[in-house]
């Protein structure tokens, strides 16, 4: 293993880094439900982290450097944990799900790398984005590398069923990203288009992760469909909340940056609903800010006033709660168990979280 | 199918385009060996083109538009034809190789899209590159889409063996691209590093395409290894010649652009050898031009003079011929046949071509 990768393996395992920095917790402190899920899948997750580190290694030093940077940057590992949890819910006791959970995290990470290049983002999870630190070019190429390695992990597992679910998901995610790009800076974007983007770019991988958990456990078609449905609805709720948080007063009070979507002219649900409810003056304001990207610093505040006036953040949260209820309902067919309860609590976490 | 895709299907089949443009030949006129290979695999290749068009379709109109633009831009389809030819050499008579040949072309096309973004290229095969026409962002995302669709085509075929070969190749290609990026603008790049880049970014997919042809034909390990070796050596020769052509006086006489690598500071073999053979003044020249990218229009002419002085274009062609001989030798174990002869002739074509 390369030095970079050895060091990263230590960081993920909670060892102090060699340059004397404080020890990194392998998983950042999280709300109750995620803590519970993390404890539930702890042993598997350690192995997932080990597989992630081993499979992003390469003789080309820049690859583990860049991949390690984004992998260590403190994601919640929500998608791999959902896969592990779904497999447990279906009674799985083997180890195949570990490599596949790593594969799902690689697909997610590759998407993040390309996303940040496409959005020109300079921040990701509160630190400088990989493209900001290493440049756009290696970010595109290391994304490709991680994507290919994700498939190698699936191939090592050997299930064509799993390969089908995840390659289909990867194609749908890319479609969602293109759809989002085409809708960006277009205030005519309606709720339907917005939801189609969210289903494709976010919910598809949640659904695939949960369904793969059922597949490795050799669960029947009903359990597979139920877990895919759980993941899909949870994924939509997750993204809706993400989009609300980007305009959230609570976030602002916590000192977190808000308004990224606004500044980039991304048309998310809080804006879609405000545009639809607005009068001609308001539409002119949205057009100037989101289509023409002609903004002053005071415009974000005005956008928040309009969202408040029309109650669109609350409406978006209501939609998220609706999808949350759908996710919970999808698990109704599984007998009550601690795992099921944790997966139900995760729905609440995704909706009530403030990060 | 979308209108874009219907139109593209017509173009690839040689129908006149609806806006009255002259009919496009499905395959551009080519030298003898490629013509012969094209005739040999004609029926399969038509089906490959149909599969390509069908599988790049999407409800998101920008996807078939952008993918169709690059797919229709007149590539030779060399990699899919090699896969089809290798399968024929191994006596294959089924149709599985058609979808897999399309898959290989998708991986190649995805790589081209990302390459052009990474290189900031505005031209590809003599016309405006996709990133120039559609922008970098959709080029990155449509590349991801085609890559995912490539895997869906492999999954539809169902061979884990094939999936392993091609996902491994995809990871190695990405490594090669990162290696090339790290070596760019570094005149200390030696021949070994240059060849490692070429083997990874170009030869790996040639080798994979040929090996997959043997795998679908259920050929034994010796035939698989021989065809992989043929493809690998052919791929290195192909790239060496590509890099020579970028400095070729003959190209310049034909009115084709030369010097792209020079202007981008890519350190290809003709430069590697000239730098190694040069004196201190010459090294200072190469450093200014390729590392600092501080160039005047006359510098390319001076680079050509230095390459002429040290005979580096001829030396690079000698290396290419060496790999060509290796490729031909790899086919020695197959009984003489028209297919084998065509695959041998393709080696000569790759070396003697002037495009």
Q: Residue B74 belongs to a domain with what CATH number?
A: 1.10.600.10
- The shortest C-alpha distance from B190 to chain A (Å) reads 16
Which percentage of chain A shows pLDDT scores above 90?
A: 72
Report CB contact under 8 Å: B175, A137.
no
Report CB contact under 8 Å: A167, B148.
yes
B16 has pLDDT over 50: no
The label of the residue with tokens 């010649």 reads: B241
Output the pLDDT for position B7. Answer: 62
Instruction: Let me know if residue A19 belongs to a domain.
Output: no
B313 has pLDDT over 90: yes
Instruction: Give the closest of B63, B110, B155 to A167, CB-based.
Output: B155
A25 has pLDDT over 50: no
Output the pLDDT for position B202. Answer: 96
A208 has pLDDT over 70: yes
Task: Name the least confident of A131-140, A329-338, B22-31, B346-355.
Answer: B22-31
> Across the strands, what pairs with A128?
A123
Residue pairs between chains A and B whose CB atoms are closer than 8 Å: 131
Query: How far is it, in rounded angstroms, from Cα A97 to Cα A119?
Result: 32
Output the pLDDT for position B134. Answer: 86
Instruction: Give the closest of B118, B148, B149 to A141, CB-based.
Output: B118
B325 has pLDDT over 60: yes
Distances (CA, A) of A94 to A87, A134, A218, B138: 9, 38, 11, 41
Q: Which residues contact A31 (CB under 8 A, 6 or more apart)?
A: A349, A352, A353
Q: Which residues contact A184 (CB under 8 A, 6 or more apart)?
A: A264, A265, A266, A267
Instruction: Classify B124 as helix, strand or coil.
Output: strand
Instruction: Give the closest of A63, A142, A147 to B147, CB-based.
Output: A147
What are the structure tokens assigned to A88, written together?
């447990």
Output the pLDDT for position A300. Answer: 94
Residue B189 per-residue DSSP state = -
Report CB contact under 8 Å: B178, A117.
no
φ, ψ at A255 (rounded to 5°): 85, 10
Task: Name the least confident of A5-14, A316-325, B42-51, B98-107.
Answer: A5-14
Q: Quick one: closest CA in A to B179, which residue? A: A60
Output the pLDDT for position A14. Answer: 46
Query: How far is it, in rounded angstroms, from Cα B107 to Cα B143?
Result: 9
Q: Quick one: closest CA in B to A147, which residue? A: B171
Instruction: Let me know if residue B94 belongs to a domain.
Output: yes
Question: Tens of pLDDT along A190-200?
Answer: 999 999 999 99
Better-predicted residue by pLDDT, B258 or B107: B107
Residues of A near B (Cβ–Cβ under 8 Å) read 58-63, 110-111, 114, 117-118, 137-138, 140-145, 147-149, 151-152, 154-155, 158, 160, 163-164, 167-168, 170-171, 173-175, 177-179, 181-182
**pLDDT band, residue B5 (cuts 50/70/90):** low
Query: How far is it, in rounded angstroms, from Cα B205 to Cα A165?
Result: 25
Report CB contact under 8 Å: B178, A141.
yes
Output the pLDDT for position B169. Answer: 98
Task: Name the least confident of A340-349, B94-103, B257-266.
Answer: B257-266
Query: How far is it, in rounded angstroms, from Cα A101 to Cα A106?
Result: 9
Query: How far is it, in rounded angstroms, from Cα B84 to Cα B57?
Result: 23
Residues of A within 8 A of B158 (CB-CB) are: 160
Instruction: Let me know if residue B19 belongs to a domain.
Output: no
B50 has pLDDT over 80: yes
Output the pLDDT for position A131. Answer: 84
> Residue A108: which H helix or E strand, with range?
helix A96-119
Task: Name the least confident of A310-319, B177-186, B195-204.
Answer: B177-186
- The pTM for the full model equals 0.90
Report CB contact under 8 Å: A175, B147.
no
Task: List, in sequence order, the alpha helices (H) in chain B.
Answer: 3-12, 32-40, 42-55, 62-71, 78-89, 96-119, 130-134, 136-157, 160-183, 191-198, 204-216, 221-245, 249-253, 260-264, 269-277, 280-286, 298-310, 312-330, 338-352
Task: Please give the biggest Cα pair distance in chain A.
Answer: 61
Q: Which of A112, A175, A189 to mutate to test the interface with B (most CBs of B within 10 A)?
A: A175
Query: How far is it, in rounded angstroms, from Cα A208 to Cα A170?
Result: 10
Q: Which of A144, A146, A175, A181 to mutate to test the interface with B (most CBs of B within 10 A)?
A: A144
Residues of A within 8 A of B111 (CB-CB) are: 144
B25 has pLDDT over 50: no
Overall number of domains in chain B: 1
Q: Are B157 and B107 in contact (CB under 8 A)?
A: no
Instruction: Let me know if residue B199 belongs to a domain.
Output: yes
Which of B238, B160, B213, B236 is CA-nearest to residue B334? B213
Interface ipTM:
0.89
Instruction: Classify B128 as helix, strand or coil.
Output: strand
Residues of B within 8 A of A152 (CB-CB) are: 164, 167-168, 171
Task: Please give the biggest Cα pair distance in chain B.
Answer: 61
Report CB contact under 8 Å: A141, B58.
no
Report CB contact under 8 Å: A141, B167.
no
Residues of B near A (Cβ–Cβ under 8 Å) read 58-63, 110-111, 114, 117-118, 137-138, 140-145, 147-149, 151-152, 154-155, 158, 160, 163-164, 167-168, 170-171, 173-175, 177-179, 181-182
- The shortest C-alpha distance from B255 to chain A (Å) reads 31
**pLDDT band, residue B103 (cuts 50/70/90):** very high
Averaged pLDDT, A131-147:
91
Q: Are B164 and B212 in contact (CB under 8 A)?
A: no
Output the pLDDT for position A150. Answer: 97
Residues of A within 8 A of B196 (CB-CB) are: none
Q: What is the DSSP code string of B312-338?
A: HHHHHHHHHHHHHHHHHHHTTTSPP-H
Output the pLDDT for position B23. Answer: 36
Residues of A within 8 A of B170 (CB-CB) are: 144, 147-148, 151
Instruction: Let me know if residue A59 belongs to a domain.
Output: yes
- The shortest C-alpha distance from A179 to chain B (Å) reads 6
Averaged pLDDT, A97-124:
89
Q: Are B272 and B239 in contact (CB under 8 A)?
A: no
B118 has pLDDT over 80: yes
The label of the residue with tokens 């895919």 reads: A228
Question: Tens of pLDDT along A27-47?
Answer: 444 468 888 899 999 999 999
Instruction: Let me know if residue A21 belongs to a domain.
Output: no
Report CB contact under 8 Å: A63, B178.
yes
φ, ψ at A123 (rounded to 5°): -130, 145
What are the structure tokens assigned to A82, written together?
């959902």
CA A11, chain centre distance (Å): 22
Averaged pLDDT, A102-127:
86
Averaged pLDDT, B172-201:
94
Q: Which of B59, B68, B136, B137 to mutate to test the interface with A (most CBs of A within 10 A)?
A: B137
- The shortest C-alpha distance from B191 to chain A (Å) reads 17
Which percentage of chain A shows pLDDT scores above 70?
A: 88
Q: Are A212 and A104 in contact (CB under 8 A)?
A: yes
Q: Could you tell me the residue range of the domain that residue A125 belongs to?
A: 3-13+31-351
Which of B147, B82, B92, B340 is CA-nearest to residue A140? B147
Report CB contact under 8 Å: B152, A160.
no
Report CB contact under 8 Å: B175, A114.
no
Averaged pLDDT, B5-34:
51
A21 has pLDDT over 70: no
Question: Tens of pLDDT along A234-291?
Answer: 999 999 999 999 998 777 666 667 888 999 899 999 999 999 999 999 999 999 999 9
CA dihedral (B80, B81, B86, B89) positive or negative: positive
> Across the strands, what pairs with B128?
B123
User: What is the average pLDDT value for chain A, to the nearest integer?
Assistant: 89
A201 has pLDDT over 60: yes
Averaged pLDDT, A92-114:
95
Instruction: Let me know if residue A158 belongs to a domain.
Output: yes
Instruction: Let me know if residue A321 belongs to a domain.
Output: yes
Query: How far is it, in rounded angstroms, from Cα A327 to Cα A237?
Result: 9
Instruction: Classify B77 as helix, strand or coil.
Output: coil
């Amino acid at each position: 293993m390369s030095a970079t990768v050895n060091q990263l393996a230590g960081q993920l395992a909670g060892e102090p880094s060699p340059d004397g920095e404080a020890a990194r917790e392998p998983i950042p402190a999280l709300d109750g439900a995620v803590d519970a899920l993390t404890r539930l899948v702890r042993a598997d997750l350690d192995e997932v982290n080990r597989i992630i580190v081993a499979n992003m290694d390469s003789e080309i030093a820049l690859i583990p450097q860049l991949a390690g940077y984004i992998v260590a940057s403190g994601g919640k590992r929500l998608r791999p944990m959902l896969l592990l949890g779904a497999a447990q819910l279906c009674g799985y006791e083997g180890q195949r799900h570990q490599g596949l959970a790593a594969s799902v995290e690689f697909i997610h990470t590759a998407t993040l790398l390309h996303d940040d290049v496409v959005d020109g983002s300079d921040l990701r999870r509160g630190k400088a984005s990989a493209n900001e630190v290493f440049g756009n070019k290696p970010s595109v190429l290391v994304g490709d590398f991680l994507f290919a390695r994700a498939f190698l992990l699936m191939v090592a597992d050997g299930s064509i069923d799993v390969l089908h679910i995840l390659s289909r998901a990867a194609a749908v995610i890319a479609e969602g990203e293109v759809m989002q790009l085409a809708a960006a800076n277009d205030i005519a974007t309606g709720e339907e288009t917005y939801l189609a983007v969210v289903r494709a770019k976010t919910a598809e991988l949640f659904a695939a992760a949960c369904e793969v958990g059922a597949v490795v456990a050799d669960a029947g078609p009903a359990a597979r469909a139920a877990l895919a449905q759980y993941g899909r609805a949870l994924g939509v709720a997750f993204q809706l909340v993400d989009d609300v948080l980007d305009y959230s007063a609570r976030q602002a009070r916590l000192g977190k940056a808000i308004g990224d979507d606004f500044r980039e002219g991304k048309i998310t649900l809080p804006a879609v609903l405000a545009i639809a409810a607005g009068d001609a003056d308001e539409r002119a304001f949205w057009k100037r800010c989101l289509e023409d990207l002609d903004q002053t610093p005071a415009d974000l505040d005005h956008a928040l006033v309009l969202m408040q006036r029309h109650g669109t953040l609350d409406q978006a949260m209501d939609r998220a709660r609706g999808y949350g209820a759908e996710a919970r309902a999808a698990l109704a067919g599984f007998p009550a168990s601690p795992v099921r309860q944790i997966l139900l609590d995760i729905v609440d976490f995704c909706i009530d979280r403030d990060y």
